[in-house]
Amino acid sequence: MVVGGLGAAWGATVGAAWLRVAIADKEPSRSTGTVAKGRLEHGRPLRPWGQGYATYSFLGTALGRQYVHAAVRDAVEAACAASARREPRRTFVLGETGWPGGGRFRPHRTHQNGLSVDVFMPLVDGTGAPAIPSTWPWNKLGYGMEFDAEGRLGDLRIDFDALAAFLRDLQAEAASRGLGVQKVIIAPEYVPLLLATSTGRQLGKLADVLSRGPAWVRHDEHFHVDFSEVAPARL
Give yes or no for a contact between 72 and 47, defined as CB atoms under 8 angstroms apart. Answer: no
Give yes or no for a contact between 166 and 200, defined as CB atoms under 8 angstroms apart. Answer: no
Task: Select 110 or 171, whichever has its Cβ closest to Zn ion.
Answer: 110
Site string for Zn ion, 108-137 (x = CB under 5 A): ----------x-------------------
Task: Select 47 or 224, whichever has its Cβ closest to Zn ion.
Answer: 224
The Cα-based distances of 89 to 2, 31, 148 in angstroms read 34, 34, 25
Of 72-80, 86-94, 156-164, 221-229: span binding Zn ion (CB under 5 A) = 221-229
- Minimum separation from the CB atom of position 26 to Zn ion (A): 27
Is there binding between residue 173 and Zn ion (CB under 5 A)?
A: no
Q: Provide the β-strand partners of residue 156.
A: 153
The per-residue DSSP string of 30-64 comes to EEEE-SSSEEEES-EEPPSEETTEEES-HHHHHTT
Task: Select 157 or 222, whichever has its Cβ closest to Zn ion.
Answer: 222
Judged by CB under 5 A, which of 171, 224, 226, 229 binds Zn ion?
Answer: 224
Is there binding between residue 157 and Zn ion (CB under 5 A)?
A: no
- Minimum separation from the CB atom of position 93 to Zn ion (A): 14
Residues 6+ apart with CB under 8 A from 141: 56, 57, 60, 95, 135
- Minimum separation from the CB atom of position 231 to Zn ion (A): 24
Q: Between vectors from CA 148 to CA 143 and to CA 149, what angle results, nearest 5°?
A: 120
Q: What is the DSSP letter of 231?
A: -
Is there binding between residue 65 and Zn ion (CB under 5 A)?
A: no
Segment (H or E) for 92: strand 92-94
Among 35, 44, 29, 180, residue whose Cα is nearest residue 111: 35
Task: Select 44 or 224, whichever has its Cβ closest to Zn ion.
Answer: 224
Is there binding between residue 219 and Zn ion (CB under 5 A)?
A: no
Of 28-36, 55-63, 128-136, 222-230: span binding Zn ion (CB under 5 A) = 222-230
Is there binding between residue 226 and Zn ion (CB under 5 A)?
A: no
Residues that bind Zn ion (CB under 5 A): 118, 224
